[in-house]
Amino acid sequence: MNVIETALSGVVIIEPKVFGDDRGFFLETYQEQRYRALADINVPFVQDNHSRSFRGVLRGLHFQKTKPQGKLVRVVTGEVYDVAVDINPNSPTYGTYEGVILSAQNHRQLWVPPGYAHGFLVLSDIADFEYKCTDYYDPDDEEGVLWSDPDLAIQWPLQDVSLSVKDQQLPMLRDINA
């Protein structure tokens, strides 16, 4: 497997080794010892999630306030633009983001450590998105940052997006840490 460092501390892109032929393919989506040794992911995963969304759906940018979740994310069907945002005001990369295309074709994964906001935008007609989490989802602990916050200046590949009512009402990053 190939691990690609990003500008955000701890956020890495993982390219698993894919074994394929004319019959299909096989890959390991997670193997504790290998991910710990090569990607420095040394946390227990307690919950797996699967979401299906359609072209233009944007989910995020979400995080949990007091029980932050690390997320190992991948796309099983389709293609998304996946984003991690540094929301730690004491970090030298505060307010910056890393964006990467994840797809069923490239098999890439993104490791988003606890303490980052996360979101994705579906670029294909349909996308099945799976992620392993390091803590349990708690709706009372959830917070987020508005996807179009001008201070973040995220270069989303589509501007005509479909958002949940909740995601439309998320605050700007500066208002969360005010």
The catalytic site residues sit at 62, 131
The helix (H) or strand (E) run that includes residue 105 is none
The DSSP symbol for 90 reads T
Q: Where are the beta strands (DSSP E) in 17-158?
A: 18-21, 24-27, 47-54, 58-64, 71-77, 79-86, 97-103, 109-112, 116-122, 126-133, 142-144
Q: How far is CA 88 from CA 9, 20, 62, 109, 110, in A?
A: 11, 40, 14, 23, 19
- CA–CA gap between residue 6 and residue 64 (Å, rounded): 22
61: preceding bond cis by omega (within 30 degrees): yes
Query: Among candidates 85, 160, 93, which has minimal Cα distance to 121?
Result: 160
Q: How far is CA 174 from the centre of its chain?
A: 21
